[in-house]
Amino acid sequence: MYTGLQHLHSGIAYLALAGLVLVILYALIGSLSGREFTEKDRKIAMIAFILSHIQLLVGLILYFVSPLGFSLLTGGGAMSDPAARLTALEHPLINIIAIVVISIGYIRAKKITNSRSKFRSIYMMYAIGLVLILSRIPWSNWLS
């Protein structure tokens, strides 16, 4: 089960990152072109929103099932080891914050009436979330 969750978490990560990049570009183009924000635009933004939330859910399950997640914090010594600190604290905490930022961008866009502001809310908040996510990916584990 643990290995399957790891593979699922890694696979969804590719989809979530690609979705965020595409939505950011799409919203940026929409804002710069001055076109109207439509239901189709909202649904496109929702795709990255949903993928990032699914990724968070799988990651949280993996965090509590994994021998490298929560147990590293309770065992002690995780704060002195940079790799253990990244896995046990920084990666989950920063990614939760990133998903909150993405959620704020999506929810704000639903409430705003001006099309350009809707696009701006999406691309700015999604971009901040993406940067946060990219900053805490354990690249050495992920690319190997």
Note the pLDDT tens digit of each residue in 22-35. Answer: 999 999 999 999 99
Please name which of 89, 132, 94 lies closest in space to residue 81, comparing C-alpha atoms.
89
Tens digits of per-residue pLDDT, 125-136?
A: 999 999 999 999
Q: Return the domain boundaries, the chain.
A: 2-142
| pLDDT level of residue 142 (50, 70, 90 thresholds) | low
On whether the CB atoms of residues 12 and 30 are closer than 8 A, the answer is: no
pTM here? 0.90
- The predicted-structure confidence for 43-93, as pLDDT tens digits, reads as follows 999 999 999 999 999 999 998 888 777 777 776 667 777 877 888 888 999
- In single-letter form, the type of residue at position 21 comes to V
**What percent of the chain is helix, strand and coil (3-state, nearest 5)?**
85, 0, 15
Tokens describing residue 125: 């908040």
